Amino acid sequence: MAKDAYDVAALIGSRICHDLINPLGAISNGVELLGMGDLKDRDEISLISDSVSHANARIKFFRIAFGAADHSTRIGPSELSSILDELSQVMRTEIIWLIPGDIGRDAAKLFFLLIMCLESAMPYGGQIRVAQEDRDLRITGRADKLKVDPDLWKLLTVPGHWATAHQMQLAPAQVQFLLAADMLSNRNSSPVLDISETAIDVVF
């Protein structure tokens, strides 16, 4: 993917997420006010509240995963854990952040894209752990049942393979593989991938 095209795509992602956060916050406040009155026990209010919470959690996650990333901007573990904890509450998969220190926003973007890659292989839920072990960074997804597309994972592990992704006719739900592969290529990084019946382990 051309660098200019990549930057434009990231800026578009940032703009969409930025413009959606405020109205979602307003809806959330409105639902909270309704919940303080006679409507608090209505099923409709509960449904709207749950949907807004889900949307808020996804938008915060997408803002990092698909937004513009500057390596000079740092993000602390408490902020990252908070975003992932909120997301875990509205999805089938538990996500645990175990990296103790601050990281660059571009690194956080890569991790979040890889989390999405793992999530796509865990349709029935499971657990994803992001950790630092000595000098290695490890992202592990565990589930009772996995659904793995080997061609998608080759985008991440085979140098230069991402450049032929247009031949694969990727679906929108698979775009995280292309973006993650592009970031890894720009970093000259080829992660070590280990896939078993119940786990996917990515180390780089």
pLDDT tens sequence across 174-186: 999 989 988 888 8
Domain boundary (68, 86, 114) is at: 68
156 lies in the same domain as 57:
no
For range 113-124, the mean pLDDT: 96
pLDDT digits (tens, 9 = 90+) for 43-75: 777 778 788 888 888 999 999 999 988 778 899
Whether 1 has a pLDDT exceeding 70, the answer reads no
**Number of domain units in the chain:** 2
- pTM equals 0.86
pLDDT of residue 71: 77
> Could you give the 3-state DSSP secondary structure of residue 144?
coil
Residue where a domain stops, chosen among 11, 44, 68 = 68
Indicate whether 51 and 140 sit together in one domain: no
Is 121 found in the same domain as 31? Answer: no
Whether the pLDDT of residue 28 is over 60: the answer is yes
Cβ of 169: how many Cβ atoms within 10 Å? 7
Asked if pLDDT for residue 3 goes beyond 60, the answer is no
**Do 87 and 46 belong to one domain?**
no
User: Is the model's pLDDT at 37 over the cut of 60?
Assistant: yes
The residue out of 42, 68, 94 marking a domain boundary is: 68
Judged against a pLDDT cut of 90, whether residue 126 lies above it is answered with yes
CATH at residue 157 = 3.30.565.10
CA distances from 140 to 9, 86, 96, 101, 107 (A): 28, 19, 10, 19, 17
Shared domain check, 53 and 89: no
Distance between CA atoms of residues 170 and 177, nearest Å: 9
In this predicted model, what pLDDT tens digit does every residue of 161-175 receive, in sequence order?
Answer: 656 666 677 888 999
Q: Are residues 56 and 79 in the same domain?
A: no
Q: Angle, to 10 degrees, between the axis of helix 175-186 and the axis of helix 105-120?
A: 140
Domain that holds residue 3: 1-68
Q: Tell whether the model's pLDDT for residue 6 goes beyond 50.
A: yes
pLDDT at 2: 45
